[in-house]
Amino acid sequence: MKKVLLVVLFVVAVMSIAMAQTNGDVLGAHLVYGRGCVACHSPHSGARGNGIATKDASSGDAALWGADLTPYYNQTFAFGDGGSYVYTAPASQVAHDGLSGIMECLSCHDGNLAKNGMMKGSTVETIPNAIGGNAPTLLGSDGGTAGDYKNDHPVGQQAIVGCGGTYDWDCAIDSTGKITAPAGSKFAQFQLDYGFTIRTVAYNATPMVTCTTCHDQHSMTVYAGKINNVQGNYPTSFFVKGYYNPGNAASNSAAQFCRQCHGAESNEMHGINLPTV
């Protein structure tokens, strides 16, 4: 009986911490224990404004970034599929640059080259399956081999969305590196059946995947946009940028979200037009 009581008390405590961390605000875990926006965007002095001793003379010059980026400058990371997708971080932070944006995310979500003091290492949200539990939030220190990024989705210079190949949509890529949906294509139909909520970044006139291609770091629980061609506020989780509701057994929204890039696995490419539920 005592053991059961202890388990119940532990679960209540964890739930209380999670509720305190998110408080219903769309920022969710990125409220960072009440610090809010300044945890990432220090209004004064960059990383030094967050109490971090850094030798980076340009700290905070771009996006008022409040974490220390020096451990990541010029570093190379091998992501996904045996490490075949290599991302090389730039030598300095550049404002509004996709490659710098990946480095900014790693400065909190790596845990290998540098451990951010604000990160506890696991998600506030639980994994919606029979096993439950929480997922790691540190890519390079996730309980497996330290510094192993091969089990993480590819991002960076070699993570390029294609069109017309075996695994791709019947889409097109314009001269600016933007993905387009030709009239009458199955990709155009998918955009009616789900939408197109992700955002790739142009790199050498190709659509490159970055962390914020799939994640909206400013909203953990709600996606505000068009789904099934209807504007609204849709449930999401884990900061996913789109309607993403894996906790609803009747919904195909989680699969639909992934199909935005992985077109070969879509209903439409199999001859079925199925609106998202």
pLDDT tens column, 71-114: 999 999 999 999 999 999 999 999 999 999 999 999 999 999 99
**C-alpha angle 105/106/109, rounded to 5°?**
90
User: How far, CA to CA in Å, does 39 sit from each of 26, 34, 135, 147, 188?
Assistant: 16, 9, 22, 24, 39
Query: What's the half-sphere exposure (Cβ side, CA atoms, 13 Å) at 87?
Result: 27
- Which residues, at least 6 apart from 145, have a Cβ–Cβ distance to it below 8 Å? none
| Mean local confidence (pLDDT), 227-235 | 98
| Mean local confidence (pLDDT), 224-231 | 97
Question: What is the spatial distance between Cα 120 and Cα 31, in angstroms, rounded to a whole number?
Answer: 13
User: How far, CA to CA in Å, does 162 sit from each of 7, 174, 261?
Assistant: 49, 12, 8
Least confident among 80-89, 113-122, 261-270? 113-122
**pTM reported for the whole predicted model:** 0.90
Question: What is the spatial distance between Cα 172 and Cα 232, in angstroms, rounded to a whole number?
Answer: 28
12 vs 187, residue with greater confidence? 187
pLDDT digits (tens, 9 = 90+) for 28-77: 999 999 999 999 999 999 999 999 999 999 999 999 999 999 999 999 99
- Which residues, at least 6 apart from 242, have a Cβ–Cβ distance to it below 8 Å? 194, 195, 197, 198, 223, 225, 227, 234, 236, 253, 257, 260
| Mean local confidence (pLDDT), 125-153 | 95
178 vs 16, residue with greater confidence? 178
What percent of the chain lies above the pLDDT cut of 90? 88
Q: Report CA torsion sign: 178, 228, 218, 261.
A: negative
Residue 83, both tokens:
């490490």
Domain spans in the chain, listed from the N-terminal domain onward: 17-136, 172-270
Residue from 227, 223, 203, 123 nearest 155 by CA:
203
Assign 3-state DSSP to the chain and report helix, strand, coil percentages, each to 5.
30, 15, 55
Residue from 183, 186, 263, 256 nearest 226 by CA:
256
- Which residues, at least 6 apart from 54, have a Cβ–Cβ distance to it below 8 Å? 46, 47, 48, 68, 70
pLDDT band, residue 21 (cuts 50/70/90): low
